[in-house]
Structure 1
């Protein structure tokens, strides 16, 4: 899955953010229920690989992609 839009850097407060939380924070998904469904359906990529764990802990620089939009984690 590739994106035609620029990647947005999203600043995260704190030391850890989980994938489901980041999807909402970055505005890639509008609710926790939608985040859960998208992750479970295999529609979310982290660094180009499908991630099926909504609680996956993201690191600085991780690239999260949903549909045609991407956001990079920045601590």
Structure 2
């Protein structure tokens, strides 16, 4: 499981996908979330503005990423 370090207390799902270089643009983040290709803590997530915090697990393209504080 890879780790994505954030510098803030929380981060929106769409921002995390861009910050972690999982997608290139905000539009791409919106598309993959709307296509139900992203899970948060094991559940399909359809809200781009879903607030994530350290300890949350994001699944995308068969990989898992843990949100951690830097």
TM-score if structure 2 supplies the norm length?
Answer: 0.90
> Which one of the candidate residues 34, 41, 58 is aligned to 1:64?
58
Deviation of 1:28 after TM superposition, in Å, equals 1.5
Partner of 2:10: 16
Unmatched runs of 5 consecutive residues or more in structure 1: 1-6
Deviation of 1:45 after TM superposition, in Å, equals 0.4
TM-score if structure 1 supplies the norm length?
Answer: 0.84
Unmatched runs of 5 consecutive residues or more in structure 2: none
**Structure 1 residue ranges (4+ consecutive) displaced by more than 3 angstroms after TM superposition:** none
Give the superposed CA RMSD: 1.0
Relative to its length, the structure with more strand (as a share) is 2
